Structure 1
Amino acid sequence: MRRDPLKRLNVGLLAVAFVLSLFAGRLVQLQTIESGKYTELALRQRLQDITLPAGRGDITDVQGNSLAMTVEARGIFADPYIIKPEKRQQIAGALAPILGKDPAEIIKVISRPNTRFQYLAHGVPPDQARVVTSLKFLGIGTLPEYRREYPNASLAAGVIGFVNGSGQGAAGLEYSMNSMLAGRDGWQRVEISPEGQHIPMGESQKKPPVPGRDLRLTLLRDLQFRAQEAIERKVRETGARSGSVVVMDPRNGQLLAMASAPGFDPNNYGKYPRATWGSPVVQEAYEPGSTGKVVTAAAVMEKGGVTRDTVFHVRDRIRKYDREFRDSHDHAPEDLTFAGVLAKSSNVGTIMASERISKETLYHYLREFGFGSKTGIGLPGETAGQLKPPDKWWGTDRYPIAFGQTLSVNALQMASVYATIANGGVRVAPTLLAGTTDENGTFTPAPAPQSKRVISGETAKELRDMLEGATGREGTAPGARIEGYRVAGKTGTAQIVNPRTGLYHEGRYTSSFTGFAPADDPQLVVQVVLQDPRKGGYYGGDVAAPVFKDVMTYALANRKIPPTGSKPPKVKIYARD
């Protein structure tokens, strides 16, 4: 017997009604109860966070000439979600030569799943970015960015440093002052359509970037150029491993030039050895040799009762315990004044004078002049040099320390020693930063450097007169003399230590000259160091003093410093004078 068709129809209608009620219930759930959740998920799919890079602060010399600057650039990005797999090879092949990248690297980026934003390159020049956009690849776009440029190429590169491919300072001031220069990036959250287009009226939030501060240095671009040119030329001529020049104003500690060779071009830093990226002016420690004798001279004149006219009977060698110390040249015994000891750079005479004070006193003055302490000018990798305390000195260590060996300094420390003498005995800490400028153009001067009296004004004046003898006829550096000006200074020639053995390299030297002018009214200090010159001599008076003369002559003219017109004092070299 067949079932009732009306009953079957009613059962079917009930089933359909039940299914429709389920759909209706789900629809109500989606549109009312869970509508916010799915709206949020949909929006999240369309929203993208974009970094708004902060403009990096410029670095200038004291006159506002640009040493490092930020220029307009573009970031190239990809939206892998909308790039079709069959287009990846074509896109990579076209973009690789424009961006200077491996096609495989680009394919890897644009093939990443579950992402809508990936950077392909940063800092692309605008003209190259226009080529990219002209290709009209779906899923490839550009964003405004900044790129670092160094308009003077290698000029002051050891001081300035460079910014790496990630936009971070990686050497020099770019590294040590990165947080101040970089500022703070902002961000923008924008709504992107499935086709990869920005929805103009869509959801948008924004946090503006904060630009970095500009750094104004104490360097003078033209003087820096002359100093760098002079030391590069001398390094080539002598076959030296490296060289450096420091120009400093002793009255305020300001560094006017910090040149070194060999250098590098920060626009293409990757093409140069990593060893050239730093500044040997602060990173390289060396034994100062005879330039360090001025500290011993200051100590014995302050505490040992020695004057410039104190006479010493000086032989060309002297034995202390089991060691013999010699002058640089053989000579008959001489009755030299202490001024003569300094002018002739006698190791033996310096040892004899140093015995008038204790080793603790000598150590105290070395520390007061800055030995064993970083200068703190803000460059990365600065060495404090080596100066052991007296209780760590071996029995005969005090003697080579007295004439500038068995301890080490960097070139800036040594320049600061002579700046202290030139400044009447007051040490002003070296400074490289003149101040900073914010995004509103407001300039904030750097704090005044610390100053401290190290020796009396009378001792400093006596030392200035004595150092003038080094550039006289009887001195070791007549090549440092400048027509019309009174010049004071000191040569240095020290053996180089082999760091592996702790012994001196045979026939390898650090050659240096440090001086100031005008000698009776010092306004400029110039320090020259050459490491391991192999041609044309190695004495400081022969290879370093001519560089001093070149740079100091230019600096005096550049700063419009006239001769004082005074006559140099009569300084006795020999007891018989």
Structure 2
Amino acid sequence: MTSFWEKNSQKWKIWRQKRKEKRANKSRKPVNISRRVYLLFGVVFVLFLLLFARLTYMQVYNKSFYTKKLEDNSKYTVRIASERGQIFDAKGVALTTNQSKDVITFTRSNLVSSDTMKKVAEKLATMVTLTETKVTARQKRDFYLADSATYKRVVNDLPKDKKTDKFGNKLAEATIYNNAVDAVPDEAVDYTEDELKIVYIYSQMNAVSNFSTVTLKTADLTPDQIAIVAAKQKELNGVTVAKDWERHTSDSALSPLIGRVSSSEAGLPQEDAKDYLKKGYALNDRVGTSYLEKEYEEKLQGKHTVREITVDKEGKVDSDKITQKGSKGNNLQLTIDLDFQKGVEDILGQQLSSEISENKATYSEGMYAVVMNADTGAVLAMAGQKHEQGAQDFKADALGTITDVFIPGSVVKGATLTAGWRSGAIYGDQVLTDQPINIAGSPSITSWFTEKGSRAITATQALEYSSNTYMVQIAIKLLGQQYVPGMSLSTDNMEKAMTTLRDTYAEFGMGVSTGLDLPGESEGYISKNYNVANVLTEAFGQYDSYTTIQLAQYVASIANGGKRVAPHIVGGIYDAGENGSLGTLSSTVDTRVLNNLSLDSEQLGIIQQGFNDVVNSGSSLATGKAMASSIIPISGKTGTAETYATDGSGNSVTTVNLNAVAYATAKDGTKLAVGIMYPHALDWKSKAHQNAVKAIMELYQNTH
């Protein structure tokens, strides 16, 4: 049994132990509290340090950035377009004009409310005439919500989740507005025709940014309407009568080359807007959208007037100053004389009309011609007459000279000789035998005169007589073979041979961009899928297809001594004159040499002699005698390509492309280069293409 003292001793120990623990707990509690306080103070101190660092960064190191942000929120830059430059022909005849007209404009203040704009639109709708009232469903709803009381009511009726997020925070005002738009019922915007007029005007006003001006689209203003608007101007916040211009292009043979200009409503084309905005354009600026108007946009576009408007914190205008004074755009003078262009167009029309009347052009797309200054690249005429299959009439189609492609035929043979020389396949005025080319498994290839018997001919004569077989033998040599009757063609060097031909043709401008100062030019049709037989037909112009302007550049490079020059139809840039005159010359468009031909003087001389003999030789085999003129010496090359057309019943019809290239030096010293294409004719003996060349050369000689 445990004694009394033992029991009490044990209780004593337990009591002492509990007392120690109690004291320890008491001593620990203050320590824990002070640690937490210190930790809290530390966190607060770190936060203050971070805040101080951020403020230092904003106010010291990045002060300029935030200052600019503040300025941007209180500063507006407004760009006002100036009048566009005009386009003139080579003699100074205006091809475009900017016709002045009275218009209604609206300048939007930063303080104007939608209520005010709605009231202005209501008043203005009774004063002017509208030519259209087409508006979108969204524009109708915007107009409906323009009344502040209506907007407030619609928003109040919105479900809670359309006004606040799941935490009860108010949604962005733009989001609430869009939700209000969606909530407007169709019957609320079922406007009458008179109401739609107001909506139409309001929509134009609502689309403009602060301090910017929009020309409201109305019918032409009458004197009475101008007087009424002017008299009521104080009631029409931001509305005024102003002068504007409207672009007009004369109805002439050159009209298609001019192109179009966008309206202020359409503004910048979507695909080009980003680039234009970087250059300082405004979204509603009128810009060229095609051809010359587009190519020379930056010259024709006037210099913008730039205003910088600063407002105070209440939105009131603090300053309004002009930082850049605007000016009218530059004028362009073309290298093309409108009268000469019309004359070339008439010549083509006369030849085509004769062919149609004799049923020789039933399937033809028409006739096209380009005339260049061979030395400078200046385009003197680019004319076309487009013909629909089976029709008796035709219409002008100048753009077809750069967009429509046709198989060229033998006109390319000067370039084929060049490919032979540059590759070592032939040398100088080498003699080869014009003979039937018989390849195993293929029809015989002949020249038009081969049936009269095989004969030895030089390179010069190959051009004069237009020998297909001479060119085919060059192609066979490019394949790494020598011609033997009945031989098979190897494909080992097929790609190399075709590349040699095409690269050489490209040196002359065929199958590549000519460098013309107009957008939309075709580079021709160059098939990637070909066989070894196509290499042979390529050599005499029976495979790839080219444009008329490419043929003109080709012959120009032969005429000028071996330089491929870029064609251009703008000759000079002018500072705009007064009262719509041409003005003073600012700069000229210089001759641009794209490359030199891979020819020495002897080789070039062979081609030039061959082209001369085509027209002026006494041989019965010369192919271009119809081009010969008594008043201007002409050299040239004809081309007949075997082609096919499809009649109205879907049947294939055998046709020919009748083409020609030529050059001559006129009495005024101008070296003329001409390309003619007359596709899908029915009579291979027709001389319409040659007659056109002669008539064009003589027209220039007689008028210059």
Q: What SS is found at the alignment partner of 2:367? A: strand
Could you tell me which residue of structure 2 aligns to residue 570 of structure 1? none
Cα displacement string for residues 274-304 of structure 1 (whole angstroms, at most 9, x for unaligned residues): x988722222222211111221123335543
Distance 1:519 1:460, change over 3 A: farther
Does the CA-based 8 Å contact 2:345-2:396 persist in structure 1?
no
Does the CA-based 8 Å contact 1:53-1:145 persist in structure 2?
no
Could you tell me which residue of structure 1 aligns to residue 84 of structure 2? 56
Distance 1:295 1:118, change over 3 A: closer
Name which of 428, 432, 446 aligns with 2:565.
428
Letter matched to residue 458 of structure 1? E
Distance 1:118 1:524, change over 3 A: closer
Does the CA-based 8 Å contact 1:235-1:241 persist in structure 2?
no
Does the CA-based 8 Å contact 1:421-1:460 persist in structure 2?
yes
* 1:177 correspondence with 2:296: yes
* 1:445 correspondence with 2:588: yes
How far the C-alpha of 1:533 sits from its partner, in A, is 4.3
For 2:379 and 2:203, how far apart are their aligned partners in 1? Answer: 51
Does the CA-based 8 Å contact 2:122-2:198 persist in structure 1?
no
Could you tell me which residue of structure 2 aligns to residue 31 of structure 1? none
Could you tell me which residue of structure 2 aligns to residue 19 of structure 1? none
* 1:209 correspondence with 2:307: no
For 1:144 and 1:519, how far apart are their aligned partners in 2? Answer: 48
How far the C-alpha of 1:76 sits from its partner, in A, is 3.6
Does the CA-based 8 Å contact 1:429-1:450 persist in structure 2?
yes
Does the CA-based 8 Å contact 2:428-2:602 persist in structure 1?
no
Q: What SS is found at the alignment partner of 2:661? A: strand
- State TM-score, norm by structure 1: 0.70
Could you tell me which residue of structure 2 aligns to residue 73 of structure 1? 101
Could you tell me which residue of structure 1 aligns to residue 699 of structure 2? 554
* 1:512 correspondence with 2:659: yes
For 2:567 and 2:691, how far apart are their aligned partners in 1? Answer: 24
* 1:409 correspondence with 2:546: yes
Could you tell me which residue of structure 2 aligns to residue 110 of structure 1? 201
Distance 1:257 1:49, change over 3 A: same
* 1:304 correspondence with 2:425: yes
Does the CA-based 8 Å contact 2:432-2:470 persist in structure 1?
no
For 1:68 and 1:113, how far apart are their aligned partners in 2? Answer: 28
For 2:543 and 2:564, how far apart are their aligned partners in 1? Answer: 24
Letter matched to residue 589 of structure 2? A
* 1:168 correspondence with 2:287: yes
Does the CA-based 8 Å contact 1:509-1:532 persist in structure 2?
yes
For 1:410 and 1:103, how far apart are their aligned partners in 2? Answer: 54
Could you tell me which residue of structure 2 aligns to residue 148 of structure 1? 247
How far the C-alpha of 1:555 sits from its partner, in A, is 1.2
How far the C-alpha of 1:241 sits from its partner, in A, is 2.1
Q: What SS is found at the alignment partner of 1:162? A: coil
Letter matched to residue 468 of structure 1? N
Structure 2, gaps ≥5 residues long: 1-75, 108-116, 133-192, 265-285, 310-316, 388-394, 480-496, 578-583
* 1:371 correspondence with 2:510: yes
Does the CA-based 8 Å contact 2:464-2:621 persist in structure 1?
yes
Letter matched to residue 600 of structure 2? S
Letter matched to residue 336 of structure 2? L
Q: What SS is found at the alignment partner of 2:626? A: helix
Q: What SS is found at the alignment partner of 1:515? A: strand
Letter matched to residue 55 of structure 1? E
Could you tell me which residue of structure 2 aligns to residue 282 of structure 1? 402
Distance 1:236 1:50, change over 3 A: farther
Could you tell me which residue of structure 1 aligns to residue 452 of structure 2? 332
Does the CA-based 8 Å contact 1:235-1:533 persist in structure 2?
no
Letter matched to residue 596 of structure 2? R
Does the CA-based 8 Å contact 2:572-2:585 persist in structure 1?
no
Q: What SS is found at the alignment partner of 1:552? A: helix
Distance 1:333 1:522, change over 3 A: farther
Q: What SS is found at the alignment partner of 2:653? A: strand
Name which of 118, 121, 133 aligns with 2:226.
133
For 2:689 and 2:403, how far apart are their aligned partners in 1? Answer: 20
Could you tell me which residue of structure 2 aligns to residue 21 of structure 1? none
% identical aligned pairs: 19
For 1:330 and 1:310, how far apart are their aligned partners in 2? Answer: 16
Distance 1:249 1:221, change over 3 A: same
Q: What SS is found at the alignment partner of 2:610? A: helix
Aligned residues: 475
Does the CA-based 8 Å contact 1:253-1:428 persist in structure 2?
yes
Could you tell me which residue of structure 1 aligns to residue 491 of structure 2? none
Which of 424-433 and 519-528 deviates more? 519-528
How far the C-alpha of 1:342 sits from its partner, in A, is 2.2
Letter matched to residue 468 of structure 2? N
Cα displacement string for residues 511-559 of structure 1 (whole angstroms, at most 9, x for unaligned residues): 221101149998111111223346xx355x5221111111111112333
Higher radius of gyration, 1 or 2: 2
Could you tell me which residue of structure 1 aligns to residue 269 of structure 2? none
How far the C-alpha of 1:228 sits from its partner, in A, is 2.1
For 1:379 and 1:105, how far apart are their aligned partners in 2? Answer: 42
Distance 1:221 1:103, change over 3 A: farther
Q: What SS is found at the alignment partner of 2:687? A: helix
Q: What SS is found at the alignment partner of 2:509? A: coil
Q: What SS is found at the alignment partner of 2:512? A: coil
For 1:132 and 1:326, how far apart are their aligned partners in 2? Answer: 78
Could you tell me which residue of structure 1 aligns to residue 672 of structure 2? 524
Name which of 255, 258, 262 aligns with 1:157.
255
Name which of 607, 610, 613 aligns with 1:463.
607
Name which of 544, 550, 558 aligns with 2:689.
544
How far the C-alpha of 1:106 sits from its partner, in A, is 4.4
For 2:510 and 2:80, how far apart are their aligned partners in 1? Answer: 46
Name which of 477, 492, 500 aligns with 2:639.
492
Computed over aligned residues only, the root mean square deviation of the Cα atoms, in angstroms, reads 4.1
Cα displacement string for residues 84-137 of structure 1 (whole angstroms, at most 9, x for unaligned residues): 74884x556x4439xxxx989745412549849763338x87xx5546425659
Does the CA-based 8 Å contact 2:102-2:242 persist in structure 1?
yes
Q: What SS is found at the alignment partner of 1:331? A: helix
For 1:84 and 1:159, how far apart are their aligned partners in 2? Answer: 40
For 1:375 and 1:103, how far apart are their aligned partners in 2? Answer: 55
For 2:203 and 2:631, how far apart are their aligned partners in 1? Answer: 73
Distance 1:484 1:447, change over 3 A: closer
How far the C-alpha of 1:417 sits from its partner, in A, is 1.2
Letter matched to residue 110 of structure 1? I
Structure 1, gaps ≥5 residues long: 1-47, 191-200, 264-274, 560-577
Q: What SS is found at the alignment partner of 2:621? A: coil
Q: What SS is found at the alignment partner of 2:85? A: coil
